[in-house]
Structure 1
Amino acid sequence: MLPDLLLGKLAAVAVLSPALAFAALGAYLLLLRTPGERVVSGVVLSALSLSLAASLVVWGSSIMAPHAFLSVELGRWFEASGYSFDIVLLVDRLSTTMMVLVSLIALIAGRFSVAYLHREAGFARFFLLLALFSTGMLALVSAGSIDLLFAGWELVGATSVLLVAFFHERAAPARAALRVYITYRLCDVGLLVALVLMHEISGSSHFAEVFGGAAWPGPAAAISASAATALALCLFLAAMGKSALFPVGSWLPRAMEGPTPSSALFYGAISIHAGVYLMLRAAPLLERSPVASAAVAGVGALTAAYGTLVGRAQPDVKSALAYATMSQVGIMFVEIGLGYYRLALVHLFAHACLRCLQMLRAPSALRDAQEIRAAHAGEPLPHLGIAARVLPASLVRRVYWLSLERFHLEALQQRLIAAPLMRLGQAIDGFERRWVAALSGLAEREAGDADEAGARGERAGAGASAPSAKGARS
């Protein structure tokens, strides 16, 4: 076990390395000109390598001391009206494991992107967003307070949207990014409410004070059951949006419009598991609230069933992988709801590594599948599953058709959620415009201008009719 001071410095290095790379490259791009691809990729990959090395050292130290729970204070960002935003990192088994995973997957995806995006117009933009995403995700998983976690959460969401719309010259990526953004905005309200509730209930935003100073997953939080339920459900709402749980996960296959490395990074390995991490961090709340645990397990089971059915009927490899990811994430939430937190963490790590590999080699995997199918041409098709042999054929066809149409979930969301919100927004906008016009006297001026314009039109019409009448008399 390394000294606490050294562990804190290494944890800070792991988080701040990508941030410094982003700041340096961003300043260079703003003040000078775009550097070469080798310089851009070298700076970002070097920062990610340093972050991975520091994360591995901190992780090894936490493994050797399984009961380690270290709160690292890096300073105070600002203070106002009795509130202070403290930058606090938390070093324990959960945070260090996630730090290793984030830095490792980001480094692999970045190295893959060097060749994949070679001579792409947005090469520097991609690596800038990669550095910013790594900063946000590392801050999220190592945060010792819900304030810092919220800041990292929003950075991850912003970079997700920007990378989905990476090929913004086409309309489809822009529409997909807008769908991701709206879903994130709606569900992130839960995290914002949880932040306020935590301050009101316990008077602190530090996990060490709210959840206790025990090693993860720790005992039940020392707050009332109703407060724990409210906090856990608010956090779960945010996790539902980020991890694409049922019924708000229809944006996930649309998010594959971004480059393949970003799909592997966000929706195959890291970002999609941010909700899982959030609920693992909130394990003391779930231990205190059986209602929240049941909700997490129930929604996770629905997500796993939905992702499995829909994923088996998808005609393209990226959508199939997206729904396969959704089904596995749903199983992780079931494990969390049942109290198997360590199993869920192992499942998360293994699934992230596997799915990242599958996403990165999706085009090659599709070609391999075509070659295997061609090699076995003429052989009888494999037998259908047990359900297809037991259930009636009409029911199987109906379920297959619904799975192919994704159970019309997007159409229902458009009709029941998006359209009413758009109408409400338009109504509020119209009311605000009329109210502002009435308060500022703009309505009277516009009415006066309209009357004056009408009078000028009448005079012009009279003047035009007079010559024609004179000509007629002559």
Structure 2
Amino acid sequence: MLPDILLGKLAALAVLSPAMAFAALGAYLLLLRTPSERVVSGVVLSALSVSLAASAVVWGSSVVAPYAFIPVELGPWFRVSGYSFDVVLLVDRLSSTMMVLVSLIAIVAGRFSVAYLHREAGFARFFLLLALFSTGMLAVVSAGSIDLLFAGWELVGATSVLLVTFFHERAAPARAALRVYVTYRLCDVGLLVGAVLMHELAGSAHFSVAFGSAAWPGDAAALGSPAATAIALCLLLAAMGKSAQFPVGSWLPRAMEGPTPSSALFYGAISIHAGVYLMLRAAPLLERSPAASAAVTVVGALTAVYGTVVGRAQADVKSALAHATMSQVGVMFIEIGLGYYRLALVHLFAHACLRCLQMLRAPSALRDAQEIRAAHAGDPLPRLGIAARALPAPLVRRAYWLALDRFHLEALQQRLIAAPLMRLGQRIDGFERRWVAALSGLPERAEGEGAGRAIAGGAEVPAPDTKRARS
């Protein structure tokens, strides 16, 4: 086993390598002209290779160590009002395994993108976002405090949205990115509230203090059951949004509007499993709270059933893969809720590698499926499954149409969540306008005022005087 100081430096190197690549390329792009594709990809892939090598050494040392739980303090980031934001990494078997996975998948997706995005206008932008995403995800999986985890979590969310809208010339990617952004914002409230509760109830943001310093998955947290339940449920809300769990996972198929490498990186392998990692890190809380464990199990079961049924009815390969990913992540939530944390980690690693491969070769897989179907055009159709044969035909047809429309989940979210929030925002906006008008002494502008000015050819033209016209 390597010394703790060396392990800490290697873990910091794994996180900071892609960050330095992002900073160097970003500064060069701002101050000088755009470098060649070979330079851009070479810098990012070299940084990710360094990160992978450092992560592999840390993982090897953590696995062979009899007691692998090493908090690494890198010093305070800032201090304000007596509070110090400490940058703390945590080296254990969970974090080191995830660091290897993140670095490996990022290198594979980046290497694939060199040829896939060749001569694409946004080539440099993609690799900059790849480096920033890798930094954020490595910060999430190696964070020793919930504060640093939150910072990395937001970096991952921001890069996800920016890569969904990579082809921003079209309207569909922009709309899909907006849906992803809104879902992330709403569910990330859970992580923010959970961080505040951890500060207040556990007295510290450090996992080694709040959850105990036993090797992962550790013992039950030294908190009361109500406190552990409250924090765990808040973290579950954040995990549901990032891992596309039912009923907030309808954004996942739409997120496939981004490039194929980003779909493989985010929604096939890495980002989609961030919620699973968060629940694995919160294992001591779940051990203390049977109610939170039951909630995790129920959410995973509903997601697994929903993803399986809907995925079988989808007509395009990416939507089918997205729902298959959703169902498998739901199974991981079930494993975590039942206490099989090591099984969930192995499942996560294997599933991420498989989905990355499937996403990267999705266009080729589609062509292969078309050729196989054309070769067997004269053969009889395969028999339906046991459930489809056992249920009445009208019920099977109804279930198929509901699955094809994804059980109208998006329409329900629009009616029950989005529309009420929009109405609330409009009422608050109207109240603010009346309040500002009353304080300023100006007459309140009626809704729709300004229609008296027509816009013609980009110039403002005053509307005709209706009184003079009548006279």
TM-score over 0.5 for the alignment? yes
Does 2:122 correspond to 1:122? Answer: yes
Contact 2:304 2:329 in 1 (8 A): yes
Does 2:278 correspond to 1:292? Answer: no
Per-residue deviation, residues 261-313 of structure 1 (Å, max 9, x unmatched): 00000000000000000000000000000000000000100000000000000
Measured in 2, the distance between the counterparts of 1:387 and 1:66 equals 48
Amino acid at match of 1:119: R
Measured in 1, the distance between the counterparts of 2:444 and 2:223 equals 58
Alignment correspondent of 1:453: none
SS in 1 for 2:89: strand
Superposed, which structure 2 residues align to 1:297-446 within 5 Å?
297-443=297-443
Output the TM-score relative to the length of structure 2. Answer: 0.94
Contact 1:76 1:87 in 2 (8 A): yes
Structure 1 residue 227 displacement after superposition: 0.1
- Kindly tell me: are residues 99 and 458 of structure 1, through their superposed partners in 2, closer, same or farther at Cα, counting changes over 3 Å? closer
Measured in 2, the distance between the counterparts of 1:159 and 1:372 equals 37
Output the TM-score relative to the length of structure 1. Answer: 0.94
SS in 2 for 1:221: coil
- Kindly tell me: are residues 104 and 438 of structure 1, through their superposed partners in 2, closer, same or farther at Cα, counting changes over 3 Å? same
Alignment correspondent of 1:454: none
- Kindly tell me: are residues 459 and 238 of structure 1, through their superposed partners in 2, closer, same or farther at Cα, counting changes over 3 Å? closer
Give the number of the structure whose residues are more often helix, by fraction: 1
Measured in 1, the distance between the counterparts of 2:445 and 2:25 equals 51
Contact 1:16 1:135 in 2 (8 A): yes
Measured in 1, the distance between the counterparts of 2:468 and 2:337 equals 78
Contact 2:165 2:257 in 1 (8 A): yes
Measured in 2, the distance between the counterparts of 1:397 and 1:52 equals 49
Measured in 2, the distance between the counterparts of 1:321 and 1:161 equals 20
Count matched residues: 455
Contact 2:236 2:296 in 1 (8 A): yes
Contact 2:269 2:351 in 1 (8 A): yes
Superposed, which structure 2 residues align to 1:43-62 within 5 Å?
43-62=43-62
Contact 2:139 2:152 in 1 (8 A): yes
Measured in 2, the distance between the counterparts of 1:460 and 1:332 equals 71
Measured in 2, the distance between the counterparts of 1:220 and 1:442 equals 61
Measured in 1, the distance between the counterparts of 2:468 and 2:373 equals 79
Measured in 1, the distance between the counterparts of 2:399 and 2:467 equals 70
Structure 1 residue 433 displacement after superposition: 1.4
Contact 2:433 2:444 in 1 (8 A): no
Alignment correspondent of 2:263: 263
Measured in 2, the distance between the counterparts of 1:66 and 1:323 equals 39
Structure 1 residue 202 displacement after superposition: 1.6
Structure 1 residue 459 displacement after superposition: 13
SS in 1 for 2:235: helix
Does 2:136 correspond to 1:136? Answer: yes
Larger radius of gyration: 1
Alignment correspondent of 1:203: 203
% identical equivalent positions: 86
Measured in 1, the distance between the counterparts of 2:13 and 2:241 equals 30
SS in 1 for 2:204: coil
Amino acid at match of 1:418: A
- Kindly tell me: are residues 28 and 220 of structure 1, through their superposed partners in 2, closer, same or farther at Cα, counting changes over 3 Å? same
Per-residue deviation, residues 124-158 of structure 1 (Å, max 9, x unmatched): 00000000000000000000000000000000000
SS in 1 for 2:443: helix
- The unaligned stretches of length 5 or more in structure 1 are 451-456, 466-474
> Could you list the runs of 4 or more consecutive aligned residues of structure 1 that deviate by over 6 angstroms after TM superposition?
457-460
Contact 1:66 1:93 in 2 (8 A): no
Structure 1 residue 418 displacement after superposition: 0.5
Contact 2:318 2:362 in 1 (8 A): yes
Amino acid at match of 2:18: P
SS in 2 for 1:220: coil
Amino acid at match of 1:306: Y
Amino acid at match of 1:134: S
Alignment correspondent of 1:469: none
